[in-house]
Amino acid sequence: AADASSGSGALSPFDRQLKRKQKNWAALQAEPAKCDYLREEVGATAGGPGTFPLALDVGSGRGYIAQHLTKETVEKLIQVDIAENALKNTVESEIPTVNVVADEEFLPFKEDTFDLVLSSLSLHWVNDLPRAFREIHQVLKPDGVFIGAMFGGDTLYELRCSLQLAELEREGGFSPHVSPFTAVSDLGHLLSRAGFNTLTVDTDEIQVNYPGLFEVMEDLQGKYVLCMGESNCSWNRKPLLHRETMLAAAAIYQEMYGNSDGSVPATFQIYYMIGWKFHESQARPAQRGSATVSLGDLAKIDGLLSRGKK
């Protein structure tokens, strides 16, 4: 499969070859189910009304979305991921699936192929998000729908700020230890430029409390980050932190964000998005600001999608 840009720079912030290795390593861990809390949480939000004959899961990993789909929702699912080991260790699903190793920025499918495209917590690692959205739009059939979720700009802001302040104090400068994320203000514009219409973008937060910064780092490295293949793969990442800097960061974390019981929060911001490929039968978009439901409200997702189909 084609790979994204292999060079570093502002237009290619991530080392995609390293990301592939990280995800391949993560997929081979002995007990991956214990490491998948966030992906399970977000993957459970996928779904839609009626039946989609053919669907695509972009950045599927071990199949976090597939296990929540039924034959009444999707007749056949193509799962695409950059890591072959993830596709070799997919979870069980009641619907027929086909696995394809490919990069999210270079989808190897013909135009107007899929009725539904899904993506859960994968697109924040692509170097060219506008291109990835255009690729998804291209492979959708007219009146097809894209439903996606990705980490947002405020993800792990407590950890990010604490590490940066500590490095500035102890080392006179800082480098990224948490990868950059897209701002929600840019997301709707990027989807629109890719050709999607009748857009809905929503945000949600998942917050987990820990005893302190060291426990946050340990859990991120041992659970959410490494086992999920979520390790930082920025080209300008720093390989290690000095112990004195870590101790300073822990004190800053506690002082700035600590809870009354002594614990500290770690916040994961999730962007949920829905976009349709144009078809003559589609209704005009509703007036801006008239939305009455949230994508985070699973009980209303079917109704929301049904309304968009009218």
Q: What is the DSSP string of 16-56?
A: HHHHHHHHHHHHT-S-GGGG-HHHHHHHTT---SS-EEEEE
For the cut 90, the answer to whether the pLDDT of residue 295 exceeds it is no
Where is pLDDT greater, at 193 or 85? 193
| Domains of the chain, earliest start first | 16-156+180-209+266-279 (3.40.50.150)
Q: What is the DSSP string of 134-164?
A: HHHHHHEEEEEEEEEEEE-TTTTHHHHHHHH
Residue 79, both tokens = 């799962």
Fill in the DSSP letter of residue 300. Answer: G
Per-residue pLDDT at 21: 61
Burial 218-230 (b: 16+ CB within 10 A, else e): ebbeebbbbbbbb
Residue 16, both tokens = 């995609």
Helix (H) or strand (E) holding 223: none
- Tell me how far apart the alpha carbons of residues 167 and 225 are, in angstroms, rounded to a whole number: 22
Q: Strand order of the sheet with strand 97-101?
A: 97-101, 74-81, 52-58, 114-120, 140-151, 264-276, 197-210
pLDDT digits (tens, 9 = 90+) for 15-71: 556 555 655 555 565 444 444 555 655 555 555 556 899 999 998 888 888 888 888
pLDDT digits (tens, 9 = 90+) for 103-129: 888 899 999 999 999 998 888 778 788
For the cut 70, the answer to whether the pLDDT of residue 263 exceeds it is yes
Where is pLDDT greater, at 185 or 194? 194
Cβ contact 283:310 at 8 Å: yes
Q: In the structure, what pLDDT confidence band is assigned to residue 236 with cuts at 50, 70 and 90?
A: very low
